[in-house]
Structure 1
Amino acid sequence: MFLWLTPSGRSSISFTIGIIAVNFIVDGMVGIVVLAW
């Protein structure tokens, strides 16, 4: 799940994409939970 934390040649790009992806996933899960309630 935290694979994007591993350093790589394009660590900055991977880190940014990973942060955005995690934010989208968390927002989606929070939205689903809120709608479920």
Structure 2
Amino acid sequence: MDKNEAKDKMHTMVKNDLKNAVKDVKNDTKDAKRDADK
């Protein structure tokens, strides 16, 4: 595996981690709102 390939793989992993993190935050926010409405 050459350097560029490794870089691309890292990039994709980081991007996916960010996407998942954003999803988690959105879900947490939804849950918090739901709890606040109770």
Asked whether the two chains share a fold, i.e. TM above 0.5, the reply is yes
Deviation digits for residues 1-37 of structure 1, max 9, x if unmatched?
Answer: xxxxxxxx71110000000000000000010000110
**Counting helix residues as a fraction of each chain, which structure ranks higher?**
2
TM-score, with length taken from structure 1: 0.71
RMSD, aligned CA: 1.2
Consecutive aligned runs of 4 or more in structure 1 exceeding 2 Å deviation: none
Name the TM-score, length of structure 2 as normaliser. Answer: 0.69
**Identical amino acids, percent of aligned pairs:** 10
Paired residue total: 29
**Which structure carries more relative contact order (alpha carbon 8 Å, separation 6+)?**
1
Q: Which runs of 5+ in 1 are unaligned?
A: 1-8
Bigger radius of gyration, 1 or 2?
Answer: 2
Task: Give the gaps of 5 or more residues in structure 2.
Answer: 30-38
Q: From 19, 24, 30, give the equivalent of 2:22.
A: 30
